[in-house]
């Protein structure tokens, strides 16, 4: 039995903020942001939208475009680092909103690598527990955690959500081929790379980042994890139709490909319009590539991501 991605829907907040918009209140410019990140604009959640709001909207779109009914779901897993509250989970809020009372529900937090982690967890649970249908969502409102006076961080992020339907299949030619996860939390230099800072007196804090350090680790670790998962499955880049990485920064993706001699023309890049949406970035990029006719049924995809912790990993999926 394999786990297959049978459908995917996304939701992006209506508000779009361009680099020029940011330059009105920050000492920056479109050129400064774009040349360093590849970002042109980002979607920003409204005051009335929280992470579960985006997750529910993406799920409702998924339900409309697929034949799935809420009562068909065995489980709901949400990847997020920006949950509405410490508890209950976003997954439970989605379950209640759509009436999927048969499904158990929980969240996964592995920062920007959360989607890869959640995909691996869902795949393992479907096989070990013989689940048939699982709703996997990655939803983030990370802009609610940025300091809008800090041009080194606030220009990087956007909000969004992607919802996937995972189904068990006996067709060995499609589905999740392999997943591989990593973490390194042994040293303070890792734990302080990306963190919520100043969480006191009800203030949720803001993101701080050691940008140059993050840049180096993202290149090294994502490239390494892709090579290792390919080697362990007796595959090469020739077997991969598209690489869909975490959309943190275009320069990171270009450097990652150069390090391992991966072809850049096989990489799906959406940083220009989505910015860094944390764990939601891979589902958003996949839906965008499907809509544009780049990714097609039967393609073999290589996902990879790195997040705070450090957490990182890769997955090979044939859709």
3-class DSSP assignment, residue 166? strand
Catalytic residue among 19, 109, 249, 276: 276
The three-state secondary structure class of 63 is helix
Please tell me which residue in 92, 246, 249, 257 is annotated as part of the active site. Answer: 246
Coil, strand or helix at 86: coil
CA angle, 73 then 242 then 66, to 5°: 25
In our burial notation (b when 16+ CB lie closer than 10 A, e otherwise), range 137-148 reads: bbbbbbbbbbee
Sheet with 311-318: list strands edge to edge: 175-183, 311-318, 300-307, 242-245
- Partners of 168 in the β-ladder: 3
Tokens matching residue 134: 């699982």
Q: Which of 112, 249, 257, 274 is catalytic?
A: 112
DSSP state for residue 26 in the 8-state scheme: S
Q: What are phi and psi of 122, to 5 degrees?
A: -60, -45
| C-alpha–C-alpha distance, residues 50 and 31, integer Å | 31
Q: Which residues of 158-174 are buried (b: 16+ CB within 10 A; e: fewer)?
A: bbbbbbbbbbbeeeeeb
Q: Is 246 a catalytic residue?
A: yes
Distance from the Cα of residue 236 to its chain's centroid? 24
d(CA 141, CA 43): 10
State yes or no: is 257 an active-site residue. Answer: no
**Bridge partners (DSSP) listed for residue 244:** 303
User: What is the separation of C-alpha 77 from the centre of its chain, rounded to a whole number of angstroms?
Assistant: 13
Respond yes or no: is residue 276 known to be catalytic: yes
CA distance 222 to 312: 7
Q: Are 246 and 306 in contact (CB under 8 A)?
A: yes
Catalytically active residues, by annotation: 112, 246, 276
């Amino acid at each position: 039995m394999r786990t297959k991605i049978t459908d995917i829907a996304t939701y992006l907040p209506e508000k779009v903020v361009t680099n020029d918009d940011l330059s009105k209140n920050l000492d920056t410019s479109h050129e400064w942001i774009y040349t360093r990140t590849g970002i042109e604009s980002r979607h920003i959640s409204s005051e009335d939208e929280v992470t579960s709001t985006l997750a529910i909207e993406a799920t409702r779109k998924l339900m409309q475009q697929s034949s799935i009914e809420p009562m068909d779901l065995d489980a709901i897993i949400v990847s997020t680092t920006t949950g509405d509250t410490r508890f209950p989970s976003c997954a439970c809020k989605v379950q209640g909103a759509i009436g999927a009372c048969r499904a158990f529900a929980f969240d996964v937090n592995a920062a920007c690598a959360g989607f890869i982690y959640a995909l691996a967890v869902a795949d393992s649970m479907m096989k070990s527990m013989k689940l048939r249908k699982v709703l996997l969502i990655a939803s983030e409102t990370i802009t609610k955690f940025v300091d809008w006076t800090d041009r080194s961080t606030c220009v990087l992020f956007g909000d969004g959500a992607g919802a996937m339907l995972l189904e068990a299949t006996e067709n060995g030619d499609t589905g999740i081929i392999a997943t591989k996860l990593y973490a390194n939390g042994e040293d303070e230099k890792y734990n302080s790379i990306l963190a919520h800072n100043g969480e006191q007196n009800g203030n949720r804090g803001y993101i701080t980042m050691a940008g140059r350090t993050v840049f180096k680790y993202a290149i090294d670790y994502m490239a390494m994890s892709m090579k290792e998962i390919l080697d362990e499955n007796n595959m090469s880049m020739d077997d991969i139709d598209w690489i869909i990485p975490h959309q943190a920064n275009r320069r990171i993706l270009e450097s990652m490909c150069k390090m391992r001699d991966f072809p850049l023309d096989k990489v799906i890049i959406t940083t220009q319009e989505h910015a860094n949406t944390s764990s939601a970035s891979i589902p958003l990029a996949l839906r965008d590539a499907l809509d544009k006719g780049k990714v097609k049924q039967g393609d073999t995809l290589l996902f990879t991501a790195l997040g705070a912790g450090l957490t990182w990993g890769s997955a090979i999926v044939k859709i």
